[in-house]
Amino acid sequence: MQTVNIHAAKTHLSRLLDAVAGGEEILIARAGRPIARLVPLQGQAVPPRRRLGLLAGQITVPEDFDAPLSEDILGSFEGR
């Protein structure tokens, strides 16, 4: 396990992350005393990318979509 001080970790963060991605663990120290450990993530699934427009043409928005609500429906939302 490699040990680096905070200044070196800030300066070479990209290189340290590449090493961690390769499976290495890195200890970060302040004044020679370990304070943190960089380790690779295990079992973290990357969420799939969202596809925009997936339902294009399948959903319609009514013309009165943003019209004021009727008093009885508004009362239900307000607990009346």
pLDDT in tens, 28-72: 999 999 999 999 888 666 778 888 988 889 989 899 999 999 999
**pLDDT exceeds 90 at position 25:** yes
Confidence of residue 4 (pLDDT cuts 50, 70, 90): very high
Domain boundaries, the chain: 2-38
- Closest residue by Cα to residue 12 from 41, 20, 32: 20
Q: What would the CATH number be for the domain defined by 2-38?
A: 3.40.1620.10
What is the C-alpha to C-alpha distance for residues 19 and 47, in angstroms, rounded to an integer?
Answer: 23
pLDDT digits (tens, 9 = 90+) for 6-24: 999 999 999 999 999 888 9
Please report the pLDDT score of residue 67 as a whole number.
92
Return d(Cα 28, Cα 79) in angstroms, integer. 55
List, as one string, the DSSP characters of the chain.
Answer: -EEEEHHHHHHTHHHHHHHHHTT--EEEEETTEEEEEE----S-PPPPPPPTTTTTTT----TTTTSPPPHHHHHHHHT-
